[in-house]
Amino acid sequence: MATLEKIRSHSGILIGAIALALLCFVVGDALNNSSNLFNGSRTQVGKVEGESMSIDEFQKQVTVMSNVYKASGRQVREEDAREAAWNTFVQSSILKKISEETGISVSKAELSRALFSKDNYHPMLRQNPLLYDNNNQFRPERAIAFVNQLDSLPEDTKSLWLFWENALKEQIMLDKVQYLAINAMSAPKAMVDFLDEMNGKSVKVVCAAKEYRALPDSLFIPSEVDKKRKYDERKELYKTDEVRFMKTIVYNITPTQDDYDQTAEKVKFAESELKNVTEEELTYFISQESDADKPFIPYYQSENDIDPAIKEFAFSAKKDSVMPTFLDGDSYKTAKVLSDIVSRPDSAKISVIVIGSKSIDETRARVDSLMKVLKDGADFSAVAVKHSMHPSVRQNMGDMGWIKEGQFGLDTFDHMVFKMKVNEISNIETPNGTFIVKVTDLTKPVKKVRVASITNKVVPSMTTYHSIYEKANLFIAKNRNSNSFEDAAKEANLLVRDMGPMTENQNSVYYLEDSRQIVKWAFEAEKGDVTPKPFDCKNLYLIGYLSDVIEKGYYPFSNQNVQQNLEYLVRNDMKAEELMQTMKDVADISSVGVLDTFTVSFTDVAIPHYGNEPAVVAAAYKASANDFVSPIKGENGVFALKVLEVQENAQTPSSAVKLTNSIFSYVRDRMFKSLVDNADKSDNRSRFY
């Protein structure tokens, strides 16, 4: 009973506890649901015009784009494939919205015509690597086979074909949209008539200038008021996406003296071993002891082909001599002479027939039969076309052109060919196949020698990397405040460099390798934050702090780069005002400066010696023959000009035609960019990469 009474006396607390537990349960459930919603957005790479793409879908598209690059024979970089995958998603989403809003679409019949029309296929098909044969010949008829056999194709090939098919469909769609936009535009007749008149003449002038650079900058100090006015006038020039700026210090990773000493010792050891290495062991030995890009070259080399650093030794030392280790630039080297000097042709012009069969005996029997036919006078090229098993040899009628030793990568082949005489025919068995070879021409014999060389470039050791890293890391530890960062750098005689502007999805910064990590940090950090550790960019470490954050919109008036630009512009305005006063009453152009005579056309924006000067061109066109015009405020100075002659041009194309072509080019080049710029989109790629 006592316990029951105690419960009753605290019933209010108990009810409150139960209510709190229920509330926590409800809130917890709500948080779980919202967590699921947030997780959905966290896995979303982006959204364009209502179409979203998850990270898994995006990565699949990246794989497709990598395959597209590989199939096209282009170098595949992960960041390029990601950018292409994103652009493909953006284009598809925008075109889908246009189709929904306008009813424009591409029918199956239209796509079929673009794919299968014998003489009227779409030009974009030529970009599809799947439609090229082994000889790199374009075969548009192969499209039919791909469509008919689509379900039986390997998955990679199938996805590649579907990509190109969809790309073609979207291009046809885009062509339609552009065509409608182009045909909805025209130039007013008054504009056409005006342009016809302007384009129908050119103006010959004599011109002189007083340049702004002739006046010292120190005499013209722009005021804040003038700079602000200029900023407001030109604000659109300072439009920007969201960008970041950094102040950075670079620690270059270069070899130390210890690294040089260790590399020298390594090559000296290889030098001592090289004296006793047999010919059979050389390939493996050099692959272990020399840099990866400096393999053993087993064939004879001329003075023009051999490494200049070892040439003198190779052509003066006796066979089996080993060159003492020496430093050549940033590499230590040694070499062994493998042969006496011989006299051999530098190059040979050859024709070949490639022979193959089910067995060695059958192959040899075919070779013997063909050799007899050739020695009896049969035409070599005709035999090559009929009997060579290699398609490119048949296509070239056996002619392989000029070759140098080592070009085929077959020692036995070189050994035979470069000892043959002109018009001699021989058969050569190699690990890569059997050849019947005819030497059709030889160059003049030159001195050649065989030599084995070892090269080790001096590179920073792990100890060097660690030492430089610790040095950079110590600087960060002592200067985690941006205010002290630059002072400490100055005290340590370290150069502080500006880096930026960086955009959120930028893959790299300047020339720096692996620098995406820097961009990602810059967009996660706050202004003034110092890098938490040195960024490893392969051949250097980089540290710094986030010096400026510019949101999407306009560079602010206070931005350092904007201030420099405004000072330049306002200072030129001030110089122009002073120069125009001095030239106001000038009547003789020769008193202005150096005279230049040239002819300008209406479409010109630049003039000789001064560059971009549209105001000068406009003044020339407004004047009549013998008119003197001064002063003219230009981009680089204040000008005076005298019109010598107004010349009638020969018959020129109608301005209406030119304008139509300009409209076409403008729409084609900029319409889709405009659609992308104005699309409702969110880009979250920086969360993942």
CATH code of the domain containing 419:
3.10.50.40
Using the predicted structure, report yes or no on whether residue 72 has a pLDDT greater than 50: yes
Whether residue 248 sits in one domain with residue 172: no
Whether the predicted pLDDT of 15 surpasses 50: no
Sole residue written with tokens 């702090």: 545
CA atoms within 13 A of residue 525's CA, in its CB half-sphere: 23
Looking at residue 148, its pLDDT comes to: 87
Percent of the chain exceeding pLDDT 90 equals 56
Cβ atoms < 10 Å from Cβ of 614: 13
Is 456 a domain residue? no
Global confidence as pTM:
0.69
159 and 261 inside one domain = no
Task: Assess whether 332 and 352 both reside in one domain.
Answer: no
pLDDT value of position 470: 97
Residue 129 has pLDDT above 70, yes or no: yes
Q: Are residues 172 and 70 in the same domain?
A: yes
Answer with the residue of higher pLDDT: 513 or 267. Answer: 267
662: amino acid identity, one letter: S
Q: How do residues 241-285 score in pLDDT, each as one tens digit?
A: 999 999 999 999 999 999 999 999 999 999 999 999 998 999 999
What is d(CA 149, CA 144) in angstroms, rounded to the nearest whole number? Answer: 9
Separation CA 621–CA 613 (nearest Å): 13
pLDDT band at 40 (very low <50, low <70, confident <90, very high): low
Q: Is residue 667 part of a domain?
A: no
Q: In what order do the strands lie in the sheet with 51-54?
A: 51-54, 44-48, 681-683
Q: pLDDT band for position 18 (50/70/90)?
A: very low
CATH number of the CATH domain containing 508: 3.10.50
Contact (CB, 8 A) for 277 and 269: no
Supply the pLDDT for residue 465.
97
Residue 32 has pLDDT above 60, yes or no: no
pLDDT-derived band of residue 406, with 50, 70 and 90 as boundaries? confident
For 433, phi then psi, to 5°, come to 140, 175
Last residue of one domain, picked from the residues 286, 309, 341 = 341
Q: Is 163 in the same domain as 217?
A: no
Residues whose CB is less than 8 angstroms from the CB of residue 528 and which lie 6 or more positions away in sequence, other chains included: 481, 482, 545, 546
Residues in the chain: 689
- Where do runs of H (alpha helix) occur along 103-241? 108-116, 142-148, 155-183, 189-199, 224-233
Averaged pLDDT for residues 1-29:
38
Place of tokens 């080297």: 333
Write down the mean pLDDT value for the chain. 87
For residue 448, being part of any structural domain is answered with no
User: Region 105-110: what's the mean pLDDT?
Assistant: 91
Q: Residues 355, 404: one domain?
A: yes
Burial-class residue 293 by CB neighbours within 10 Å (0-12, 13-18, 19+).
Answer: exposed
pLDDT at 624 over 80: yes
Same domain, 534 and 564: no
Instruction: Name the residue with higher pLDDT: 182 or 271.
Output: 271
| Residues 476 and 539 grouped into a single domain | yes
Cα 170 to Cα 106, 110, 686, distances in angstroms: 8, 12, 27
Does 96 score more than 80 pLDDT? yes
Higher pLDDT, 40 or 568: 568
Residue 224 domain-assigned (yes or no): yes
Number of domains in the chain: 6
Residues 149 and 54 in one domain: yes
- 688 within a domain of the structure (yes/no): no
Of 286, 319, 341, the domain-final residue: 341
In a domain, 246, yes or no: yes
Do 173 and 268 belong together in one domain?
Answer: no
Residue 116 lies in a domain: yes
pLDDT band at 2 (very low <50, low <70, confident <90, very high): very low
Residues 522-533 pLDDT 10s: 999 999 999 999
Domain residue limits at 571:
201-238+560-648
Q: What does the pLDDT read at residue 653?
A: 62
pLDDT band at 16, cuts 50/70/90?
Answer: very low
401 and 433 housed in the same domain: yes
Residue 678 lies in a domain: no
Of 341, 367, 387, which residue is a domain's last? 341
Write out pLDDT tens, residues 486-500: 999 999 999 999 999
Residues 323 and 435 in one domain: no
For the segment 217-222, the average pLDDT, to the nearest whole number, is: 96
